[in-house]
Chains A and B, each alone.
Chain A
Amino acid sequence: MADGSFEEFYEATYGRLLRLLVLVTGDRGDAEDLLQDAYGRAAVRWRRLRDYQAPEAWVRRVALRLATDRARRARRRAAALLRLRPPRSPSVELSADSLDLYQALRGLPAGQRQALVLHHLVGLPVEEVASQLNLPVGTVKSRLSRGRAALARRLEPGPEVVRHDR
């Protein structure tokens, strides 16, 4: 990437990062907005960034941090509203399996979701996930383990629940 232009870098990485962020945020509009913000920050630093070994990792890290900040702000601003709001539906039509996975992911805490997506979708080793999220490796392992367990519970067909309403 030493001699690459920002435009080339952008074209080459945009799709990958959007896929990551759309799974992390659960909303394509949010993901696109965050990604534009992250790329904007990269653009004004491109002279320095292009010499980095992996500028994509820088943008990914910034975008994930922005996603975390935005989620935190939204939680603070309207915690009650978010609790009362029905689960968000995807803005596009999904297959049955993908819809299940989407809903299951949405039910996970943001930290677990980020770790799972970075590790399983992007394919980063645990150490690199820890570096990207600025977390200890042990924390990432724990989040991955708990996230997978939670996903398994939500995705596997369980016994039928009988409700005894009075």
Chain B
Amino acid sequence: MTDDLDLRPRLERLANELTRDALVPSPAAAARRGRRRRRRQLVGAGLLAIALVALMVWPGAGLLDRGRPTVVPVAPAPTPTTPASKLRPLRPPQAAPGQSAVVIQDPPLGLPGKMHTWLTECREVKFGHGGREFQVPSFQIERGDQRISWYVYPLGPVGSKRYKGPWANIQTWTEDPKNPRDPGSFPFVELYGPQVRVHLSKPNGRKGSIVGPYSIVQGTTYTTLRQPTGAQVAIAWNCDAPPGVVPP
């Protein structure tokens, strides 16, 4: 590198003039400064470590690592209207492969005490978003002009503000060609509340049952016509059927 500007002596002269009467501070001051900085670093690292440990032992820690939760239906917590001790014992019925079975104590609304039918729909029960991830056994029984169907949402209807947790209903209505009515406008049997229990025999929920006291609810307006008594309803479903028997 050539130096046409004669830079070196000029820079040296400038540096000398700029530092002409500079005092050399004590090296101890620099060392103290270094130690203070190191102490600050250590304190910072300690606080960071404490924060990390606190984060690890925090009850919510690991939520991100757990992946998709398994199916653990949780009943909501409205005030129970019927003490558990007053519930009449009821074992869920056995559902044959591809079928759903219902047992109703003190059957209301002209419903039979026992029913079973083939499943027409069988989806996997799992948490998630999208509205199609809840099992809805859907079937219909015809008795003259009476129609009966029942639905089970082991985890509660998706996106419902009214229902949080396991929910099932049994609908019944009459077909009157001269005066057709929306089936949803008839009173229906509803299973919902903290005393409703869901048992999933398979982790994916394709086999299980729901048991609990029921109330009578007016369709459309959703007003409760009758509070739960000790009588219960049990609905069992079994999707373990040969392919083709139950739609996937």
Interface residue ranges, A against B (CB under 8 Å): 6-7, 10-11, 14-15, 18-20, 22-23, 28, 32, 36-37, 39-44, 90, 92-95, 97-98, 101-102, 105, 116-117, 119-121, 123, 126, 144, 148, 151-152, 155
> Which stretch from B8-16, B64-72, B171-179 is at the chain A interface?
B8-16
Binding site secondary structure of chain A: helix
Per the bound structure, the CA–CA distance linking A44 and B41 in Å amounts to 12
- With A14-B24, A126-B1, A151-B5 as known contacts, state yes or no: A98 contacts B33, CB within 8 Å: no
* Partner of B35 from A10, A42, A43, A148 at Cβ < 8 Å: A43
- Is B108's beta carbon under 8 Å from chain A? no
Contact B35 A101 (CB under 8 A): no
Residues from 1 to 45 in B contacting A, C-beta threshold 8 Å: 1, 3-5, 7-8, 10-22, 24-25, 27-38
- With A10-B30, A144-B1, A152-B4 as known contacts, state yes or no: A15 contacts B14, CB within 8 Å: no
Q: Count the A-B residue pairs with Cβ separation under 8 angstroms: how many?
A: 113
Contact A151 B27 (CB under 8 A): no
Q: Could you say which residues of chain A place their CB within 8 Å of the CB of B24?
A: 11, 14-15
- With A39-B34, A40-B30, A40-B34 as known contacts, state yes or no: A32 contacts B3, CB within 8 Å: no
Nearest CB in chain A to that of B8: its residue: A120
Contact A98 B37 (CB under 8 A): no
Nearest CB in chain A to that of B28: its residue: A7
State the interface size on chain B (CB cutoff 8 A): 33
* Partner of B17 from A18, A20, A94, A155 at Cβ < 8 Å: A94
Per the bound structure, the CA–CA distance linking A90 and B28 in Å amounts to 28
A32 to chain B, nearest CB (A): 7
Contact B30 A36 (CB under 8 A): yes
- With A36-B30, A39-B34 as known contacts, state yes or no: A101 contacts B10, CB within 8 Å: yes
- With A41-B34, A44-B35, A151-B5 as known contacts, state yes or no: A10 contacts B27, CB within 8 Å: yes
Per the bound structure, the CA–CA distance linking A39 and B11 in Å amounts to 24
Interface residue ranges, B against A (CB under 8 Å): 1, 3-5, 7-8, 10-22, 24-25, 27-38
Contact A39 B19 (CB under 8 A): no
Contact A23 B30 (CB under 8 A): no
29 inter-chain pairs at a CB distance below 8 angstroms, sorted by A residue, are A7-B28, A10-B27, A10-B30, A22-B15, A23-B14, A23-B15, A23-B18, A28-B19, A32-B22, A36-B25, A36-B30, A37-B33, A39-B30, A40-B30, A40-B32, A44-B35, A92-B17, A94-B17, A95-B13, A97-B13, A101-B10, A101-B11, A101-B14, A105-B14, A119-B1, A120-B7, A120-B8, A121-B8, A121-B15
Most chain A CB within 10 A, of B4, B19, B38, is at B19
Q: Could you say which residues of chain B place their CB within 8 Å of the CB of A6?
A: 27, 31
Q: A32-B25, A39-B27, A41-B34 are in contact. List 8 more A-B contacts (CB 8 A).
A: A19-B19, A28-B19, A28-B22, A36-B33, A92-B18, A98-B10, A116-B7, A148-B7
Q: Could you say which residues of chain B place their CB within 8 Å of the CB of A152?
A: 4-5
A162 to chain B, nearest CB (A): 27
Contact A121 B27 (CB under 8 A): no
B123 to chain A, nearest CB (A): 56
Contact A42 B34 (CB under 8 A): yes
Per the bound structure, the CA–CA distance linking A44 and B30 in Å amounts to 10
Per the bound structure, the CA–CA distance linking A119 and B7 in Å amounts to 10
Contact B18 A28 (CB under 8 A): yes
Contact B27 A97 (CB under 8 A): no
